[in-house]
Amino acid sequence: MGVAVTADLRAVRRRLRHVDWVLVACTLALVALGTAAVASATATPEQPLGLLRPRLAHVAVGLVVLAGLAAVPYQSLGEAWKLLYGLSLALLALTDLVGRTALGAQRWLALGPVSLQPSELAKLGLVVALAWFLSRRKDPPTRFADLFPYLVLAGPPVLLVFLQPDLGSALAFVAVLLAMLWAAGLPRGPLAALVAAGLLVAPLVWPLLKPYQRTRLLVFLNPSLDPLGAGYNLIQSKIAIGSGGLWGKGLFAGTQNTLQFLPMQHTDFVFSVIGEELGFVGTVGVLLLFWVFLLRVLQVASSARDAFGSYLCVGVASLVAFHVLVNVGMTVGLAPATGIPLPFLSYGGTALVTHLAGVGLVLSVAVRRPKILF
């Protein structure tokens, strides 16, 4: 009995030595900064803590999920990919049927006192499914015809999310698919053909968009087209970031934020809050944290024990990178407003837990590597 316990303790210590602590530190720093920004963005004289308490509850749940997935062998998740993928599709379909509608979209599913956004969970489900399929192929996809199984996997969640409607999340699925196919060795020719096919189909999607989605795309090209309506968010976001200057106005001191000029400041536009209150230095610091985060995830991918673990890490990295590029681009006018949250920083329980779960998967791969590469 004592010998078994000693062996287990040694195994735990060995796993802990292989944890990527830089990745953990970047994740915790981003979560902490996001918690401070959410508290600042939602504080009022009547409620000085704002949404701090529910945010801390989301963080606690997310960290438990992270630790749990890091402790579980990631290969077991691959073996259960059918269950994870099927559950994702079932939740998406249920959301389209009976989901709660807010801000013009039916994206939330109420399960008792808990409100979930299944599209966020489905992103990770697709990563696991694609990683498993790609790792089981003897030869990498090299022809356009080889893409059919992966298009069949990605097609249903893209369609179900697009019908909610949630164009941003639908594009996130596409971005993950392209990144993982590229990592699997898909040549530039078929990859370019796939992108070209998507661009050719884009005009056919325009009539299917909701009026507010079309307006957002038009306002992206010309914010002054509707300065008091659809263009208001972008204009106020630019004012907030620009007014922060080099060092910012300080936490809880941003006028655009605290005076409620900036809409959705704790969700879609939390980066604008950071820009106003922490200035240029703060925004660069956030981007550097994401850059180091992505480098560490890709480093784990390059040294993973097997192809499945490598593809899992690439999927997580592409998911986070897409969200960062679109969200930050949205706040400064380089991308249309699509409702994409900023990973680890934006308020939203499902998105936060999903991204922390992704970190848990990466750590599970990291601690099971044959060796650590620096």
pLDDT tens-place string over residues 300-337: 999 999 999 999 999 999 999 999 999 999 888 888 87
Q: For the segment 17-72, what is each residue's pLDDT rounded down to a tens digit?
A: 678 999 999 999 999 999 999 998 888 877 878 889 999 999 999 999 999 999 99
300 closest CA partner among 14, 65, 21, 10: 21
Tell me whether residue 57 is in a domain: yes
Q: Please check whether residue 5 lies inside any domain of the structure.
A: no
Q: In sequence order, what are the residues at sequence separation of 6 or more whose Cβ sits closer than 8 angstroms to the Cβ of residue 244?
A: 254, 275, 276, 277, 278, 279, 280, 282, 283
Neighbours of 250 (CB within 10 A): 13
Question: Does residue 11 belong to any structural domain of this protein?
Answer: no
In a domain, 144, yes or no: yes
Residue 31: partners with Cβ closer than 8 Å, 6 or more residues away: 59, 62, 344, 345, 352, 356
Q: What is the mean pLDDT of residues 95-116?
A: 78
Strands in 100-102's sheet, in edge-to-edge order, are 100-102, 105-111, 114-116
Mean pLDDT across the chain, nearest whole number? 85
- 267-304 burial: b if 16+ Cβ within 10 Å, else e: bbbbbbbbbbbbbeebbeebeebbeebbebbbbbbebb
SS3 content of the chain, % helix, strand, coil (to 5): 70, 5, 25
Count other Cβ atoms within 10 Å, centred on residue 3: 7
Tokens of 74: 């990631």
200-218 pLDDT, tens digit each:
877 777 777 777 777 777 7
DSSP annotation of 99 reads: P
Contact 324, 342 (CB under 8 A): yes
In angstroms, the CA 249 to CA 133 distance is 49
* More reliable by pLDDT, 251 or 275: 275
d(CA 37, CA 24): 20
pLDDT at res. 329: 92
Q: Return the pLDDT at 225.
A: 66
Residue 306 three-state SS = coil
Is there a domain that residue 373 lies in? Answer: no
| Residue 372 belongs to some domain of the structure | no
Position with higher pLDDT, 39 vs 141:
39
Do the beta carbons of residue 359 and residue 27 sit within 8 Å?
A: yes
Using a pLDDT cut of 90, give the percent of the chain over it: 49
Assign residue 279 a region (left: φ > 0; alpha: ψ between -120 and 50; beta: otherwise): left
Distance, first Cα to last Cα, the chain = 37
- Boundaries of domain holding 315: 17-366
Does the structure show a pLDDT above 90 at 267?
no
Please state the pTM of the whole predicted model: 0.91
Most confident of 217-226, 234-243, 306-315: 306-315
Most confident of 38-47, 146-155, 161-170, 359-368: 359-368
**Residue 7 domain-assigned (yes or no):** no
For 67-97, write each residue's pLDDT tens digit: 999 999 999 988 899 999 999 999 999 988 8
> CA 145 to CA 97: how far, in whole Å?
34
56-60, 113-117, 152-156 — which is least confidently predicted?
113-117
Q: Is the pLDDT of residue 1 over 60?
A: no
Rounded to the nearest 10°, the torsion over CA 304, 315, 92, 349 is 90
**Beta-bridge partners for 108:** 100
pLDDT for 114 beyond 80:
no
Q: Is the pLDDT of residue 370 over 70?
A: no
Examine the pLDDT at 14 and tell me if it is beyond 70.
no
Confidence of residue 8 (pLDDT cuts 50, 70, 90): very low
Would you state the pLDDT for residue 5?
A: 44
Amino acid code (one letter) for 257? N
Contact by Cβ (8 Å): 51, 273? no
If one counts the domains in the chain, the total is 1
> Does 223 map to a domain?
yes
Q: Which of 122-126, 226-230, 361-365 is predicted with the least confidence, judged by mean pLDDT?
A: 226-230
Helix axes 21-42, 52-71, angle to 10 degrees: 160
